[in-house]
Amino acid sequence: MKLLKTVRADHSDTFVFDKAAEPGEWAISGALMFAQLDPATLTGKARAAFRGGFLGIDSFGWSTLARIVEASEEDRAAAVEQLATRLVERCGAPDLMTARPAAEEEIAFAASLCDHPAGMLIAVSRRYENEQTREAFRTLQSNGRSKPAPVFTFLQVADDAQAPSEQIDLAALARGERR
């Protein structure tokens, strides 16, 4: 069986969302968090979570991406119990007996998204139209790196004799000028 876990490819989730999920939490779609809200009234970070966030069920924080992972039946049962507990604590469910069926349904839906190889990344896109929330999911192939590839490398040089002779004007390059 496969389930979803949150991923943090970089620190952007900590800026984009009010609360970012910790990497490696069990994840669900998270649409349930907006069921009682009018998405048209959402702004800022709440709107970002609505439009493209997975919900980490431990922290109830958001993640832009989720990874498909192998899971045991014990993992699934633990995720259901953890989510049911959070539904009582954070969403006003009256008790665990009432929350469990909703948690089962959310975990089952998350599992239904995992019809791809383990390691595949999933992104969500949500929109509100015709008085309904619509979700679309897409897969992204992981490059297998644990960290993003660097865009720039900085070299500290002790004296000017060792400094590279080439000078690059990034502002001129951005304007399309070549020197």
Instruction: Specify the pTM.
Output: 0.76
Q: Residue 118 domain-assigned?
A: yes
Percent of the chain predicted with pLDDT > 70: 82
- pLDDT per position as a tens digit, 1-45: 999 999 998 888 999 999 999 999 999 999 999 888 887 888 999
Cβ contact 30:53 at 8 Å: yes
Phi, psi of 13 (to 5 degrees): -60, -30
* Chain position carrying tokens 């004799």: 161
- The pLDDT of residue 40 is 81
**Is residue 160 one of the residues assigned to a domain?**
no
How many structural domains is the chain composed of? 1
Angle between helices 73-91 and 96-112 (to 10 degrees): 130
Categorize the per-residue pLDDT at 166 as very low, low, confident or very high, splitting at 50, 70 and 90: low
Taking the CB of residue 175, how many other CB atoms lie within 10 A of it?
8
The pLDDT, as a whole number, for residue 73 is: 97
Q: By residue range, what is the domain housing residue 124?
A: 2-149
- Is the residue at 174 inside a domain? no
Tokens of 178: 């070549």
